[in-house]
Amino acid sequence: MAIPTIVLIPFCVTGHLTSMVEAGKRLLSSSSRPLSLTMLVTPMSMDKLTSELADIIRRETESGFEIRFHHLPAVELPQDFHGAEDFISRFVQLHAPGAKAAISGLASPVSAVVMDYFCTTLFDVTRELGLPAYVYFTSAASMLALMLRLPSLDKEVAVGFEELDGPVNVPGMPPVPAASMPKPMMKKDANYAWFVYHGNRFMDAAGIIVNTVAGLEPAILEAIEGGRCVPGERRVPTVYPIGPVMSFKKPTAKEPPHECVRWLEAQPRASVVLLCFGSMGTFAPPQVLEIAEALDRSGHRFLWVLRGPPPGNSPYPTDANLGELLPEGFLERTKEKGLVWPKWAPQQEILAHPAVGGFVTHCGWNSTLESLWHGVPLVPWPLYAEQHLNAFELVSVMGVAVAMAVDTKRDNFVEATELERALRSLMDDGSEEGSKAREKAMEAQALCRSAVEEGGSSYTAWHKLAREVSRD
């Protein structure tokens, strides 16, 4: 008899896809019964995404785990969309017939379907097929609490968050400034409407799998599980905090260290601040000049991953032309204390290096977990998606970050003087603020690592989930 399979339906961009693959593999490892994974692939016609997807499929096919990739038929891309979330949700919705045909045609019996939180339109497919569906939530529990709260909040607040006077009540958190709401939710438009939709559909799930650590967000998880995010008698599905889910790629003996890592080898312990802004993090030339000025004046060692502008309609950056972007003489003046890297960089390897003592980050949740796993305190510079909410939580709830003023009305612009102040607050030896952030970051590291050990909170959640999906 064929081994039962768990069907995974990701949103096929790297940050969501790789996290779901890693989660699926951990699920296989946690199950007492043999299981396989079947991933339904919904690729978009973008060269970078297609190339990254091919690399992931090739790597995972050779991983030793029982993983199969099933490509769904191509669909005509939505044309009249009003933003990324509107495009993503409608794009996934168009795959409903293909997903239903693929799942019903599998040779293996299906134990469960796990889908990205942007894919809840496909709950109708799993209901028709009589299969349990789980949400895989790649963001923090704070974002989950907000999305569960949003359908009722939408009825209570007549205006968009950008027009709201006063803070927003997100259960389990201190009052959240309206400016810290996720960027796509600021206006009551099509993108906002999809968040309301997904928040409603979460309630139809058999469970919600969250890439977080129970000890990092205890009050928020308690508020979710206690029903404080959803009014009335509706019961919130079981929440499984299983993080941190990260891919640990160790260089082989034949593979030389990356040039950034080799540079770090010559730096003193905890002396370098990393500046890196994710797969879509680019800045206009005026902002680049402000960053350069701040780094020049701060006096601290730095490793700055600086990317060039995206080509055409792509959201992904190119390799930077440092001669065009940086001020004249900057590289020469800072060559003894800094490295500007113009290409992709191995962020997790860099964060793992003992020379790194701080991280200026866009606050993507994957990057945040990587930083906390390695005990590195942060300076949040949120740019898009839910990153402003993450930044607020890192400073005001977890205490692992030093706050920095980001001008949301000027496309998240930061003045050189403000970045310099934040760098000094984080990295100066005598800074009380930096000392507290470092202490909290080390506590977060201990929480992350103990959670995945045998008997830890995430380990226990994994095994509970594995029993559920394997129907053991």
Catalytic annotation, residues? 16, 116
Beta strands in 19-165 (DSSP E): 36-41, 67-71, 110-116, 133-137
Q: What is the DSSP secondary-structure string of 390-444?
A: HHHHIIIII--B-----BGGGTSB--HHHHHHHHHHHH-TT-HHHHHHHHHHHHH
Q: What is the DSSP letter of 386?
A: T
State residue 445 phi and psi, 5-degree precision. -60, -45
Contacts for 67 with CB less than 8 Å, ≥ 6 apart: 21, 24, 25, 36, 37, 38, 39, 60, 61
Q: CB–CB of 84/78 below 8 Å?
A: no
DSSP symbol at 221: H
Spatial distance between the Cα atoms of 276 and 304, rounded to a whole number of angstroms: 6
In 3-state terms the chain splits into helix, strand, coil percentages (rounded to 5) of: 45, 15, 40
* Alpha helices for 130-204 (secondary structure H): 141-156, 190-201
Find out whether the peptide bond into 244 is cis, omega within 30 degrees of 0. Answer: yes
Residue 73 CA to residue 340 CA, distance in Å, equals 42
Contact predicate 168/150, CB 8 Å: no
* Tokens standing for residue 365: 């949740």
* DSSP letters for 190-202: HHHHHHHHHHHHG
3 state DSSP class of 40: strand
Q: Given strand 238-241, what is the order of strands in its sheet? A: 67-71, 36-41, 5-9, 110-116, 133-137, 207-210, 238-241
**Contact residues for 55 (Cβ-Cβ < 8 A; gap 6+):** none
Report helix, strand or coil for 208: strand
Parallel, antiparallel, or unpaired for β 338-341 and 67-71?
unpaired
Please check whether residue 150 is in contact with residue 181, taking contact to mean a CB–CB distance below 8 angstroms. Answer: no
